[in-house]
A and B are shown apart, each in its own frame.
Chain A
Amino acid sequence: MQVKSHKVVAIAAAIALAVVGSAATSSSANAAGTSLKGVSVIVGSKDFTESIVLSKIVKQFILANGGKVVDKTNIKGSSTTREAMVSGDINMYWEYTGTAWLVYQKQTDVNIAPDVLYKKVVAGDKAAKVTWLPMTSFNDTYAWAITKANATKYGVKTYSDLKKLPAGSAWCVESEFQSRPDGWAGFKKAYSIADSSITTKVLDTGAIYQATKDGQCMVGEVFATDGRIGALGLMVPQEDISYFPPYNAALTMTDATAKKYPQLVKALAPIAAKISNATMQNLNARVDVLGEDADTVAKSFLTASGLVK
């Protein structure tokens, strides 16, 4: 009898240890995984919500799987973030195919299909020693937003229809958009919009959404997957003349990081495919409109999509 009770105690202790031990190694509330134990990376992002949420998804995924992450999200400006990665301040961040094509690889041709562009971008970045993971299906390109009310009032269904708006209507853009090669000047040219027929206002990106809703802007330069579009009663007409290049997102990291953690590359690869346009808009809206914390939103996405048990 005594031997048996010793065994019971021993088994109970072992189970207890296993439970406690597994709980200790997991640093998130999710189920404990250890496939990324030993991974230690610095994750950065650009300074807008979508970029931050995408990077938080990666961060929470790595943490849930036993890795270590230093969070350096929310860096000001596209090129500064890229610079930070190339110089080693961060190891990875989410970039867009269109941005890399036009801004870093200094190309000018924009009439390319998304997956073709992706391949070209990956090839072009080999020289810069940057690895691209698979891209998302959502395309967060530049878009024009107008209130649903104005769209109905002036019969606006396409970008060309925007020319039907009253003379002197205010188009609001952000200062970076003015300078980009796929930006303001090119759009006006592609759609034959004369400067004399409109008023241009330069605002902070965040302010543009509210200003468009309020009426200080008739047309606002926005991002296609921003959650505020739906939440503020705005709509995006159809791009009838193809102008904006595709902007699919993909996680980029230095070749050195990819070589150091091949298990990480493999583990992160499936994430992008799970994020559709609707999904991205929803995640963005939860942060921008509902005020939720980005890390929380990232975690709930990972659980809901089954990427983390």
Chain B
Amino acid sequence: MVSSSSFVALQLQGGSVSNTTQGQEIRLEKLTKRYPNTTKDAVSEFNLTIPAGECVVFVGPSGCGKTTTMKMINRIIEPTSGRIVIGGEDVTKSPAHELRRNIGYVIQQIGLFPHMSIADNVATVPQLLGWEKNKTRARVNELLDLVGLDPSEYGSRYPKQLSGGQQQRVGVARALAADPAVLLMDEPFGATDPITRVRLQKEFRALQRELKKTVVFVTHDFEEALLLGDRIAVLSDQSQVEQYGTPLEILSAPATKKVESFVGEAASVRMLGLVSLSSVTLAPGTGDGPTLQEGATLREAMEGFITGAKVINVGTRGHLTFEALQSAISSTRKGAQ
């Protein structure tokens, strides 16, 4: 049963290699999951709208149901009740395999197919969609490049020959292969060492800024949420939404005690890392002190002053004094509240 809706049919036509499909809005309405022989819902009437092209992070303690909720979006776990609407189309009952071919899926355990080469792994969904061979091959090479793996070296290797971090990148490439509008990622960087993880996070953030897919990202690590999320949903037991807002909103105004305890200490200082200097008014001309790029954050400027600078130059636009920094901070806080 081939659906002719806009969302599902989108990928069946196959976008061309260089155009990327923009993200679609995801609306989750009263999504509930109750497992048989249990007294409590695992996920209870979850309502959320994920704006198109944004990365929304589900964050919360272990066992709160965030992964279950995410897995209901592509119906790996079938909801007991509720609706899933993607790009305006109700996909709650559409054929699951067709739906999933248009949703990228990256899980914590990676799940690469050990008996297939890296190239074949990445080519999985294009092949399911019946893409023509040359187009598939070009796409595979493009994606491996994108995630930092040289296709001529890694394409013909097998998963067991790759390190954990490399396998994770392949997992992401595989999810992006058919250029889906939606991406689901469940702790995708969890199985790597801290150094690799930071690098993967930064690369992913840069990627997402460029591709503008709609991403639902699950993590228990709040710092990761702050780094990657355009919006964060802080969840508690049974996937109750404690707060849903931008990182700045959550840091500056935690809605409940649970959110507060989850956010932890020194929220204000961490907020500084979320605001870039490009939004700050500067005094003209350069002064005697270190220079930061436009993309640098207030936090790096504060770092500079704490270590003894008198003024901080920002690119070629001008310079920042400590007083100017202080007023920038207070207006940020006012703006967030």
A–B contact (CB under 8 angstroms): no
